[in-house]
Structure 1
Amino acid sequence: MSEENNEFLAALNAADEINVNDVVKAQVLGFDEQRQTLVSIEGTGLEAVIPVREYSNNPEADMTTELKIGDVLDLVVIRKIGSDKEGGSFLVSKKRLEVKKAWETLEKDHKPGDILEVPVIQAVRGGLVVDAGVRGFIPASMIENRFVSDLNQYKGQTVRAQIVEIDPADNRLILSRRAVLDAERSEAVEKVFSTLNVGDIVEGKVARMTDFGAFIDLGGVDGLVHVSELSYDRVSKPSDVLSAGEDVKVKVLALDKDKQRISLSIKQTQPGPWDKVAEEAPEGAILDGTVKRLTDFGAFVEVAAGVEGLVHISQISHKHIESPSDVLKSGETVKVKVLSVDPAAQRLSLSIKALEERPASEKSNDNRREDNKSASSSDIKNYSSDDDDEGFTPFADLLK
């Protein structure tokens, strides 16, 4: 019998000895048109195929770039292809052997409650697929402690997640990232609330923004800066003055540990608008302003960011008016004169009519009032003189 026949018979006998679930060593021979890997099972002379899906847990892995001819791999036999020995070969899997070993290690070394660091390999509709040596799953509800609309942002990241359920028999591994975040937050809450005090000025990072304000990360705990506390200027929405990830200084306004709420202010860490009002708007200064509010007794005019002064109804016009809205409207730009300024009390008295020329009729009335005063003084003087000269008799004369 020739040597070739001996090898052929040995291969046939080896085929009888290879069974499903057997672990074998095989050498890479090449790749077919379907990008599958062809291997030769050592000691048998038989060939086998590694399908793409049986190579790795990572669906994007590529055997043609990760393997080269001559590489020796540990594989597990999945099933036999063909019914006759002459044409028989096998489907083998690298992934299943790795998974089998990984399950054995996972079950031996870990239990529910343990935390793993796992890469996210895929985002699916219901959550995230992770590689823990075995295929693990993080349900969407267990990813964050808030709603997440786009799961693709986690793809490629390595996350810390807690084991919720581990069942090798069903190849089932359920993890929770939210549980880790909640535990980290509890620790951060204790630390932050034990060190912060109302009135403290601290540094934080803009975590996210909403229409009503910005959430600032103070080290694992978020505090809220309401839109009214962003700036002394009027702000329509936080994104007009802030950007995500920006470092900011904030002042602590209120702390509520029970509800885990922290109220913050950015504008109160900045110079107040009234700090320089005495210099920028001294008594007698003429300024441009914007009518902000109208009341029955006058109009409030903004002359600088966050600085409003009152134009009393009597200082709006030389003419008599029933209501400020008769001559002014909100949003109107006007010139005003500063009558008085009190930065401590944050009061500013303004006048519009002081910059307008008096009507001629009012000037005439003023002249008449002056004339009347002069006439009265003259009459009194004349009357006193006459009385002294003729109407008064000295007491000494009477005695005579």
Structure 2
Amino acid sequence: MSEKNESSENTETMADALKSVETVHIGDTVKGEVLAVEDKQLVVGIEGTGVEGVVPLKELSTQPIDDINSVAKVGDKLDLVVISTIGKDKENGQYLLSKRRLEAQKVWKDIQAKADAGETITAPVTSVVKGGLVVNAGVRGFVPASMVSDHFVEDLSQYKGQELEFKIIEIEPSENRLILSHRAIVEAGKAEARKEIFAKIQPGDTVEGKVARLTNFGAFVDLGGVDGLVHVSEISFDHVDKPSDVLKVGQDIKVKVLAVDPDRNRISLSIKATLPQPWDDIEEKAPAGSVLTGTVKRLTSFGAFVEVFPGVEGLVHISQISHEHIATPQDVLSEGQEIQVKVLSVDPDQHRLALSIKALTEAPEGSSDDRPRSNGGNNNRGGNSRGGDRGGRRGGRSEHTQIPAEYQQDDSGFSMGDLLGDALKNLSTPNDEKDDKDNK
């Protein structure tokens, strides 16, 4: 073969070889063989091009990588996408490649398919940022704070690291925007649980629950997907300023169902209704004649209501406050004051407790209580008689001072006779005046 023919064949072979080399463009999907594994990148040869490229560590996977050797080794062949060129010499230059972005393209397609089908996705919360949560769904997803739960959450950090279910709210692959909602999942779950609970729960039932959240006006208790409210007044027989003083979020408690309102999705609960009632065994705890320490809760024109046990109040009538005459209980007592009282009488059925302060002290000389009182030979220490036949008519409710039936008892549980007490002494009738003259 002549040198001319041989040269012609070599030229054709090189031309054919050059024609077989594919041109690499940004955005192309290529296959690369791992030539070297370095600390923070892979060096790969792009098949069919005769050129090399690099895959940075952060472009290897959509998942975090601690050790690059755990995901690739020399000789592996990877599907990659061309991101950009490195350097100006394209013939001998290198290309920046990504495996992560190729995976992300597939993830976007899968998420879009689920969104179209109305399906949900599950993904871990990777970080908490201003305004919401960041999740790793194969691509970056964002959950606005308003879509985290069905109620306001002050501290979102509790969700970091949790794997949650989300509804796809908005998806835009070209802008790498994926908006998710966990609130929609919570609401859907509660709606289903609500149907079941409202179908079986009844007022009077005693159930167990978990304190879900606390407010100034009460505690919301999770009954298994539905929250019921324990108003602050239903937490304890003792006074409670703030629910957080006695309850903690996550605490297991027993509650009694007070009311159920399916139309308004409301369940009213009580903790104190599950506790021993304050008036149980009151005759043993506060027998007549016993001395107790209590707190003045309310002052009225006719006396003072004193709490001697949590939820148990007794009345100290104004006539039983002092041996000396006082115009109003406020003259000598104040709300919140701690005092000692003597039990005069107990009525468990009517929840009445008659108390006295002055019974614990001796009457001063010259006071009205210290003066001897004639009652036809009977000394009435109740202070409602002044002697003879007068005392019988003036003692509490005489035939001349009958109290109408509608005024016989007020809301406090005490009769008008209890509340008026010595005030009835000032009432007089024509017959009383005649008796006065006869006695003289």
Q: TM-score under structure 1 normalisation?
A: 0.80
The alpha-carbon deviation at position 109 of structure 1 amounts to 5.4
CA deviation map 1:154-179 (0-9, x unaligned)? 23221111123344455443322222
- Given the superposition, is the C-alpha separation of residues 202 and 372 from structure 1 closer, same or farther in structure 2, using an over 3 Å criterion? closer
Matched, 1:324 2:329: yes
* Structure-to-structure mapping, 1:116-135, within 5 angstroms: 116-135=121-140
Give, as a single letter, the amino acid of the residue that structure 1 aligns with 2:282. V
Matched, 1:25 2:29: no
| 1:3 alignment partner in structure 2 | none
CA deviation map 1:75-125 (0-9, x unaligned)? 222233234356311111011111122233344555252111122233333
Separation in 2, partners of 1:90, 1:11: 21
SS state of the match for residue 234, structure 1?
coil
Query: Gaps spanning 5+ residues in structure 1: where?
Result: 1-8, 378-400
The alpha-carbon deviation at position 68 of structure 1 amounts to 5.7
Aligned length: 364
Higher RCO (C-alpha under 8 Å, 6+ residues apart): 1
* Structure-to-structure mapping, 1:244-255, within 5 angstroms: 244-255=249-260
| 2:393 alignment partner in structure 1 | none
Separation in 2, partners of 1:255, 1:156: 37
| 1:308 alignment partner in structure 2 | 313
Give, as a single letter, the amino acid of the residue that structure 2 aligns with 1:140. A
Give, as a single letter, the amino acid of the residue that structure 1 aligns with 2:38. F
Q: Which moved more, 1:253-262 or 1:77-86?
A: 77-86
* Structure-to-structure mapping, 1:30-41, within 5 angstroms: 30-32=37-39, 35-41=40-46
Give, as a single letter, the amino acid of the residue that structure 2 aligns with 1:23. V
| 2:287 alignment partner in structure 1 | 282
Contact 1:112/1:165, CA 8 A, preserved across alignment: no
The alpha-carbon deviation at position 136 of structure 1 amounts to 3.0
Contact 1:54/1:94, CA 8 A, preserved across alignment: yes
| 1:241 alignment partner in structure 2 | 246
- Given the superposition, is the C-alpha separation of residues 125 and 274 from structure 1 closer, same or farther in structure 2, using an over 3 Å criterion? same
| 1:212 alignment partner in structure 2 | 217
- Given the superposition, is the C-alpha separation of residues 260 and 18 from structure 1 closer, same or farther in structure 2, using an over 3 Å criterion? same
Residue 223 of structure 1, aligned match among 228, 244, 247? 228
Q: TM-score under structure 2 normalisation?
A: 0.74
* Structure-to-structure mapping, 1:56-95, within 5 angstroms: 56-58=61-63, 61-62=65-66, 64=68, 66-67=70-71, 69-70=73-74, 72=76, 73-84=78-89, 87-95=92-100
Contact 1:203/1:248, CA 8 A, preserved across alignment: yes
| 1:50 alignment partner in structure 2 | 55
The alpha-carbon deviation at position 49 of structure 1 amounts to 1.7
Query: Gaps spanning 5+ residues in structure 2: where?
Result: 1-14, 380-386, 389-440
The alpha-carbon deviation at position 248 of structure 1 amounts to 0.4
Question: What percent identity do the matched residue pairs reach?
Answer: 54
Separation in 2, partners of 1:15, 1:75: 18
* Structure-to-structure mapping, 1:91-110, within 5 angstroms: 91-108=96-113
Q: Which moved more, 1:47-56 or 1:286-295?
A: 47-56
Matched, 1:359 2:364: yes
Contact 1:224/1:264, CA 8 A, preserved across alignment: yes
Contact 1:29/1:40, CA 8 A, preserved across alignment: no
